[in-house]
A = this chain, B = another copy of it.
């Protein structure tokens, strides 16, 4: 009986969910008036509005978004193309974007892409276009911008993508973050700073590596060879075992916290203490990094800001308040979080002892 009542509330006599026509019949008005109430049109008599709203509640009416989309051409839905969600940064950015979109009453169609080759990304775009999304946010595109010339027909915002393309973008200021990290280590008296980089395909990884190089050049320091990981702790550990054999290495800037963790373990196993012998700075400020041994000094990215800005940029384009000529990129500035993995260099470079018999193999 209760069950029957519940069914009744969800389906009308035609065995389908209630439509505007059902509401209209119940409230004694036309379907158009129901539509006006649903969409908050101003020109509705308060009493009529009340009657319609009561009728909607009575049969538990929900607007049909497909019909609305068909009639208006808009869907109140944005698409997100995202890569590996196991990566903390990607998941965080996705979370922030979804939350922000919801606050605008937009739904989110998420497409994940395993490999960031052009074919897979083109397929992702096509899938989203079929779903009639109103706009697309590409989260952390790890490829060059060639795919971005695909005709999508909808506004696109790119997060941490290549700056040279024709779409709106949002990005963390990787260069500023890297510069702060390098500066921090140099200020602690280290002769130079080594770099454990992310995969060269990744645009953020390249930006961080370039900024590290620039910061060393600015300070007129020797530039050690770059070593590459793939963002994982495992790769940090592998590369770290090689790095541990370099005696003159006293400071490392790792391109993310996971690789820093792997590096720390490798150094620990090699008997080199952090920060006693080697100071380390990470990037991302993952929630665990404050509890590593030792707690990691790192660069904090503001993912909330990335979500906020990317959605707002898309909304502005949807509303037409964003001029097409404004191809700018919104930049989010990161900040350093100093913990215990960095310290003043034990043997200062100024005195008689050999100073940094520079790079190596």
Instruction: Name A residues whose Cβ lies closer than 8 Å to a Cβ of B.
Output: 6-7, 9-11, 16-17, 60, 62-67, 69-70, 73, 75, 77, 84-86, 88, 91-92, 94-95, 98-99, 102, 107-112, 114, 126-127, 129-132, 151, 153, 232-234, 236-237, 258, 261-262, 264-265, 268, 287-288, 290-293, 295, 361
Contact = CB atoms under 8 A, between A and B. Distances in A.
Contacts of A131: 65, 77, 107
The 6 closest A-B pairs by CB, nearest first: A66-B69, A91-B91, A85-B95, A233-B291, A66-B70, A293-B293
Given A66-B70, A126-B62, A127-B107, A9 B95 contact: no
Nearest to A7: B151
Contacts of A108: 109-111
Contact of A234 (B132, B151, B287): B287
B288 A258 contact: yes
Nearest to A17: B153
Contacts of A63: 130
Nearest to A150: B6
Total copies of this chain within the assembly: 2
Given A109-B108, A112-B102, A86 B287 contact: yes
A252 to B, nearest CB: 15
Given A65-B130, A290-B233, A291-B233, A99 B77 contact: no
Given A64-B132, A102-B127, A264-B291, 13 more contacts: A62-B126, A62-B130, A66-B70, A85-B85, A85-B98, A88-B88, A98-B110, A99-B112, A107-B131, A232-B287, A233-B288, A265-B291, A292-B292
A59 to B, nearest CB: 12
Contacts of A261: 288, 291-292
Contacts of A291: 233-234, 236-237, 258, 261-262, 264-265
Nearest to A91: B91
Nearest to A259: B291
A17 B126 CA distance: 13
14 contacts: A7-B151, A10-B151, A17-B153, A60-B151, A62-B126, A64-B70, A65-B132, A66-B67, A85-B85, A85-B98, A107-B109, A233-B291, A258-B291, A268-B293
Contacts of A94: 85
Contacts of A64: 70, 130, 132
